[in-house]
Each structure stands twice: as C-alpha cells, then as structure tokens.
Chain A
Amino acid sequence: MWYLLSGIYLGGTLGANDAANIFGTAVMTRVIKFQTAVLLTTIFVIIGSGLEGAGGMETLGQLADQTLMTAFISSLAAALTVTLMTLLELPVSTSQAVVGAIIGSNLLTGNVDFSPLVPIVSAWILTPIGAMVIGFLLYKIYILFIEERIAGVRAFETFVKYGLIVSGIYGAYSLGANNVANVIGVFVEAGMFEPQLGGVIGGMAIGLGVVYSKGVMHTVGKKITGLTPLMALITVLSHSITLYIFARIGIPVSSSQAIVGAVLGVGLVKGANMLDWDMARKILFGWIGTPSVALVVGIILNQVAFWLFF
C-alpha cells in the first residue's frame, strides 16, 4: 500500500491548488465560510470521482502499462514537478504534469503508447478555448433570459450568492470527475483498485489537500472577485461546465486554464479585451514546460528506482 503514498501526495497538491478555482470567489465574497467550502468541496469531489472518474483513468492508462512501481514513480514525478514549479512560482497544471511524468517514467523501458497524446493535447488546447466559448454563451443567455427576471439589488444578491454555491458544488463534482484520474489513474491501471473504488480514494486524497487551500483560495479568489459579481459567477460556472465536459470525454484537463478561458469569454460579451499576455504565456508554458519538466523528473526517478531496487 505504501506505493499509494505518492498518489495521496499528488492528490493533496491538486486539492490545495485547484479548490481555489471552485469556491475561492464564494469564500472571498463571504458567501460561505472557508470550513464550509472545504466540506462541500471534499464531499462533492469524492462523489464526482467515484461516479464519473473512470473515463479519465482509462485515457491515462492507455499511455503506458503500469506496474505498482512505475505507478508510484509516475505519481511521485508529477507531484514533485508540481511542488517544484509551485516553489519556483512557475505556472503548473497537474493534468499536464501527470502526462509528462507517465511518459518519463516509462520511456526508457519502451513501454509508452504515444497515440493517446493526440486527443490529450487537443483537449489541453481546447480547454481555455471551450471555457471561453461557454463563458461567452452563458453570459449571453443571462442577458437574454435571466436579467429581466432579476429586478432589484436584493434579487441580484440572492441570485449571485446561491449561484456561487451551486456552481461551486457542481465545480467540485466536475473537478473530482475530471481530475481524479491524475491522482489514481496509474494505480488503477496497475491493478491496485477497481476504477470506482480508486475514484473514491483519489477523491479523498484531493479532499485532504483542500484543507490546505486557504492561501491559494485567497489569491485566486481575489483575482476572480476583481470581476463584477455576475462575471465572477459565470466564470466559475463556465469553468465547472468545461471540466465536466472533458470528464465525460475522459480527458483530465487544467482547472486553472479553464478559469482563464472563462474570464476571456465573459469579457468578450462586455467588449472588453481581458487577454492578459502574461497569462497566455503561462498557459503556453503549462502545455509545453510542465510536461517536459515532469518527463525529465520521471526519467530521473525511474533510473534512481532501477539503481536502488534492481
């Protein structure tokens, strides 16, 4: 069972970083307390992971046949990459680190199938674009069908408050469904668990990290709440829908990149160019730099393990 420690570590870093995208706005706007956000995120991440996390596990499993040792190394390489890049304040995505780490950990044994990379990389690129389109459409739908029904300040406040809670819960479910494969996929492929049980365990690991997400939640929440309350709500909801769509397709994608795309989408409706070139550079780095670093870390760990155990 100790093999699983690297997966729990990875799940913790994922939860600590990505929970902010879900309830950061609600916590920062005092709609709910941090403790409530932790509880709701944990519960719904576990439910999402258990019920719909299997698709992503299957996709990641196609990249390489895993043994418990390679699963351990892959997870550790991804977790170390995420930790290292966070410490260096470089942009990082767990989903992209995991793919690089799986390839790196199995590359030298010639046990890698590169064909699933085409849909995986396409999904990475489509994530911010899809979130942008969804954000744009949701904003338009709000203007056309909902705005009329929200007459006063009181009704608006109620709509946003409850909207943030509902979209946060949905976001937690989607995060679990989409991202749990990053945490537990390699162990399921190695035959350690059935997908559903693996999903629940992975969801719990993510939930463990959510407890430590307060700092990131404040940083991310502050950025999103810089938008108007309505834009913040639609951004969070678009992000959640995007994650859910890719969970159904079965490809883990970056939650943070979905948020960025959603912000661009709602900005487009207002005619505002919210494209931040620094952010665009970070996304590009996330697509190329993160998996590359994880790949190198995976190769190194694989060699260290070979030297130590064989």
Chain B
Amino acid sequence: MAKLFAEFDQVEADLEELTKIVGECLEKSLESIVLYLQEGETQEVAELTDLVHSKESEADEVRRKLVQHILKGSLMPHTRSDMLHLIESIDDIADAAQDILDSIIFLSLKFDHLNLAKLDKMQELLIEQFDKLSQGLKLLFTDMRQSLVFARELEDVESKLDDLEEEITREIGNTAGLEPAAKLAHRDLVKSISDLGDIIENVGDNIETIVSVRKG
C-alpha cells in the first residue's frame, strides 16, 4: 500500500507542477496578446513571448516526465488511461495559448478595431476559469465530489466567454469601412481566445469522466 501511496503522491505533485506551469504560460500569453494589441511588438511583448515559449517547453518537459512515470508505475489501466488523457488536455491549454500569440506576432497582424475593454474582460474570465480548474485538479486525488463542483463551474465561465465573443464579433461585423478579410482576421483572434475557454473546459470534462467512472 505504501508503494501505491508513494506513486500517487508523485503523480499528484507532478500534476500540480504541470498545472502551475500551464497556468503561468496561459497568463503570460494573454498578457502578451493584450499588450501587443495595445502597443504593438514592443520589447516587453518580446520578453513576454520568450517567457511563454520557455513555460510551454517547461510544461512539455513535466508532461513527458509524468507520462513516463505513469507508464512505468503500477496504476490500474483505467486510472493510467484517465491520467494520461487528463495530462494531455492540460498541456493543450499551453499549446493553444502559445499558438495564438505566435500567429499574431509572427504574421505582424494588426487589430485596430477590437474592443479592448471586452478583451480585458475575456482575459480576466480565462484566468478565473483556469484558477477554478487548478482547484478542481488539486482536489481530484482527495475529494472527488468537490473536484466535480469546480469542474462544473468551468462551464459557466465558458458560457460567459461565448457571450463576450459574440458581442465582440457582432461589433466587428458592424464596423463600417473594415475590409471583409480584416473582419475575418479580427473574428479569428477573438474566437481563438474564446476557444481557450473550451480547451480549459475539456480538462473539466475529463475530471467529470474520471469521477463518473469511479462513482457507483
């Protein structure tokens, strides 16, 4: 039993570390995107982008270590497969956040007609959503019921994000004089940021599956 507990301790600690790094990656990506939209490609944006890349690599490293640990360990197949799905879905958040940042900066895209106040609100909601996710993940090993409560709250935040996405997209659509291609580029950026909420919610769905399989 001691071996099983030690194994869970390790998985729990590594998962917490992965969540922390992915959270930092998400936060810095959003910060960098908002700053880029406000000020363009400044030195600060470049530094933040580098930081995002290094956090994403760090997350990949922890993910690999965790996957290896789980594959070598003696967890039951159901648990192993559930954990692997969970880890991949957490890592997807960092990948997606970095992708959005890279695509707008590498293509030097300009977004002059975005409602930055609403974008700030989206950023806040995403951070709030990720915070709930972190708490849910932390509780998964010790209190599945409470973990499920946090996982289900992710959906509410995601729904608010969808509403904001719709509002911003409609505003872009109604902006006179904006070329259709520019409108589409604006819409794509807003949608990509809003989709981060879906990706975070996917992790919550994984938590729900894990708990459901273990409930009578």
Q: Is the CB of B5 within 8 A of A156?
A: no
Say yes or no: is A67 at the interface (Cβ < 8 Å to chain B): no
B-contact bits for A107-150, CB 8 A (1 contact / 0 none): 00000000000000000000000000000000100110001001
Q: Is the CB of B5 within 8 A of A229?
A: no
Q: Is the CB of A158 within 8 A of B216?
A: no
Count chain A CB atoms within 10 A of each CB in B1, B78, B140, B142 and give the residue with the most.
B78
| Chain A residues with CB below 8 A from B12, complex form | 154
A28 to B144, CA, bound (A): 26
Say yes or no: is B152 at the interface (Cβ < 8 Å to chain A): no
A162 to B3, CA, bound (A): 13
Known contacts A147-B216, A156-B144, A157-B75; 6 additional CB pairs below 8 A are: A29-B77, A30-B77, A154-B8, A154-B12, A158-B1, A162-B1
A-contact bits for B178-216, CB 8 A (1 contact / 0 none): 000000000000000000000000000000001001111
- Smallest CB separation, A1 vs chain B (Å): 45
Number of interface residues of A (CB under 8 A): 24
Q: Is the CB of B79 within 8 A of A153?
A: yes
- Smallest CB separation, A153 vs chain B (Å): 5
Q: Is the CB of A158 within 8 A of B77?
A: no
Q: A142-B216, A228-B213, A229-B214 are in contact. Are A152 and B142 (CB under 8 A)?
A: yes
- Smallest CB separation, B195 vs chain A (Å): 28
Say yes or no: is B74 at the interface (Cβ < 8 Å to chain A): yes
- Smallest CB separation, B125 vs chain A (Å): 28
| Chain B residues with CB below 8 A from A216, complex form | none
Number of interface residues of B (CB under 8 A): 23
| Chain B residues with CB below 8 A from A68, complex form | none
Chain A residues in the interface with B (C-beta under 8 A): 28-31, 139, 142-143, 147, 150-154, 156-158, 160-162, 225, 228-230, 269
Q: Is the CB of A153 within 8 A of B77?
A: no
A228 to B143, CA, bound (A): 19
A156 to B147, CA, bound (A): 14
Q: Is the CB of A154 within 8 A of B214?
A: no
